[in-house]
Amino acid sequence: MTPPKRPAAASPRGGAASGPAKPDPRRPLDRRRTRHGPRQALTLADLGTLHDALQRRERERVEDAARRTRERAAAERARQLFATAVGPVTPLPPSGRAELRWPKPPPLPLQREADERAALREAWSDEVDLESLLLTDDGLSFRRPGVGPDVTARLRRGHWAIQGEIDLHGLRRDEARTALLGFLGEASRRGQRCVRVVHGKGHGSPGRRPVLKAKVQRWLAQCAEVIAFAQASGPQGGAGALIALLDRGG
């Protein structure tokens, strides 16, 4: 006895189990959907803008490639030129030494300082009258207005330690003036307080008279950095040297 046939199952939408699916009347036919929402159709203007952007990107790529090619060619020409000029070289073997990078010194206004020294050198006179400034006591001394008389006395006694010295022996007048100007400027820049200037006693000069002594006194009195000076004591050079006190703010 044959079992009775079961009726065919209906589709979830109520249609037949086989055959092409019917379109959903709720979804329009002229719009496609993507994962991020509806995708609109591109217009001719959009296609033209995209075409121009692609062409511009292609031109930039070609120009960049050409530029890199030119740079490589120029570098190769420079390398070949250097190799031709230098000739064959042999690389040095590794030394095992550490490459230390020392800090660079601070920039110095050398040209400006040279110009200032030149201007001061021309301004320093050998004939300036200092009779009102030079004190007539047991030792020739000088102090600027506002500096107490005890300063020169302490200079003669060696109250301040001598931090720098310049010897002008054997120099001509212009050479000595330039050397003294540079020495005082450098001493002031370093913050030195007390320096000694050796001008000599004139034993080797004609007439055994000191040639630079009077000139050095006048030069020091015209130097803005010098606030006082006195003749050195015997152990410090006596009549052949001067001890100068520099201004801390000079």
Local confidence pLDDT in tens for the 250 residues of the chain? 555 555 555 544 544 445 555 555 555 444 445 555 555 566 777 788 888 889 999 999 999 999 999 999 999 999 888 888 888 888 888 888 887 888 888 887 777 767 666 665 555 555 555 554 565 455 578 888 888 888 888 888 888 899 999 999 888 888 888 889 889 988 988 889 999 999 887 666 665 666 788 888 888 888 888 989 988 887 777 888 899 999 876 4
Give the number of C-alpha atoms closer than 13 A to the C-alpha of residue 105, restricted to the C-beta side. 3
Domain shared by 75 and 134, yes or no? no
Q: Is 155 exposed, middle or buried (0-12, 13-18, 19+ CB in 10 A)?
A: buried
Structural domain includes residue 30 = no
Q: What is the pLDDT of residue 136?
A: 46
The last residue of a domain, from among 27, 57, 85: 85
pTM, to two decimals: 0.48
Q: What is the pLDDT of residue 142?
A: 86
Report yes or no: 234 and 241 within 8 Å, Cβ to Cβ.
Answer: no
SS3 content of the chain, % helix, strand, coil (to 5): 40, 15, 45
Does residue 33 form part of some domain? no
pLDDT of res. 132: 47
Number of independent structural domains in the chain: 2
- Domain that residue 74 falls in: 43-85
Question: What is the maximum alpha-carbon separation in the chain?
Answer: 163
